[in-house]
Amino acid sequence: MGDTLKTAQLALHGGAPVRAELLPYGRHEIDDDDVAAVARVLRSDWLTGGPTVAEFEAAFARAVGAPEAVAVNSGTAALHAAMFAIGVGPGDEVVVPPMTFAASANAIVYQGGTPVFVDVDARTLLVDPAKVAERLTERTKAIVAVDYAGQPCDYDALRRVLAGRPEIKIVADACHALGARDGSRPVGTLADLNAFSLHPVKHVTTGEGGVVTTADPALAARMRMFRNHGITVDHRQRGARSSWIYEIVELGYNYRLTDVQSALGLSQLGKLAARVARRQAIAETYIRAFASIPEVQPLAVRPGATHAYHLFVVRVDTTRLSTDRATLFAALRREGIGVNVHYIPVHFHPFYRRRFGFGPGLCPIAEAAYEQILTLPMFPAMTARDIRDVVDATAKVIEAFRSEPPGGRGHRSEPPGGRGPRSEQ
Render pLDDT for 101-160 as a digit per residue (tens, 0 to 9).
999 999 999 999 999 999 999 999 999 999 999 999 999 999 999 999 999 999 999 999
In this predicted structure, the answer to whether residue 417 has a pLDDT above a threshold of 70 is no
Strand partners, 196: 211
Q: Mention every residue, 6+ apart, whose C-beta is less than 8 A from residue 3.
A: none
| CATH superfamily of the domain spanning 3-26+272-402 | Aspartate Aminotransferase, domain 1 (3.90.1150.10)
Check if 6 is active-site.
Answer: no
pLDDT at res. 8: 84
Q: In 273-307, which positions are buried (b, 16+ CB within 10 angstroms) versus exposed (e)?
A: eebbebbbebbebbeebbeebebbbbbebbeebbb
- Spell out the domain ranges in the chain: 3-26+272-402, 32-269
Q: What mean pLDDT is predicted for residues 269-298?
A: 98
Say if residues 374 and 314 touch (Cβ distance below 8 Å): yes
Mean residue pLDDT across the chain? 93
pLDDT at res. 236: 64
pLDDT at res. 408: 44
Q: Mention every residue, 6+ apart, whose C-beta is less than 8 A from residue 10.
A: 331, 334, 335, 396, 397, 400, 410
**pLDDT confidence of 329, banded at 50, 70, 90?**
very high
- CB burial class (10 A; 0-12, 13-18, 19+) of residue 383? exposed
pLDDT digits (tens, 9 = 90+) for 143-189: 999 999 999 999 999 999 999 999 999 999 999 999 999 999 999 99
CA distance 124 to 417: 21
How does DSSP classify residue 319? G
**pLDDT confidence of 54, banded at 50, 70, 90?**
very high
Q: What mean pLDDT is predicted for residues 192-215?
A: 98
Q: Measuring CA to CA, which residue among 308, 21, 361, 29 is closest to residue 179?
A: 308
| Confidence (pTM) | 0.92
Strand partners, 349: none
CA distance 9 to 357: 45
Q: Which amino acid is at 210?
A: G
In this predicted structure, the answer to whether residue 404 has a pLDDT above a threshold of 90 is no
Domain 32-269 has CATH 3.60.21.10: no
CA 222 to chain centre: 24
> Which entry of 131, 141, 202, 396 is annotated as an active-site residue?
202
What angle separates helix 103-110 from helix 75-85, to the nearest 10 degrees?
Answer: 40
pLDDT digits (tens, 9 = 90+) for 3-21: 555 558 999 999 999 999 9
Q: Mention every residue, 6+ apart, whose C-beta is less than 8 A from residue 162.
A: 136, 143, 168, 170
**For the chain, percent of residues with pLDDT exceeding 70:** 90
pLDDT at res. 403: 52
CA distance 335 to 376: 13
In this predicted structure, the answer to whether residue 235 has a pLDDT above a threshold of 90 is no
How many CB atoms are located within 10 Å of the residue 25 CB?
22
Pairing, β 68-72 against β 193-197: unpaired
Strand ranges, E, within 73-225: 93-96, 114-117, 140-146, 169-173, 181-182, 185-186, 193-197, 210-214
In this predicted structure, the answer to whether residue 237 has a pLDDT above a threshold of 90 is no
Q: Which amino acid is at 61?
A: A
In this predicted structure, the answer to whether residue 415 has a pLDDT above a threshold of 80 is no
**pLDDT confidence of 406, banded at 50, 70, 90?**
very low
Say if residues 308 and 177 touch (Cβ distance below 8 Å): yes
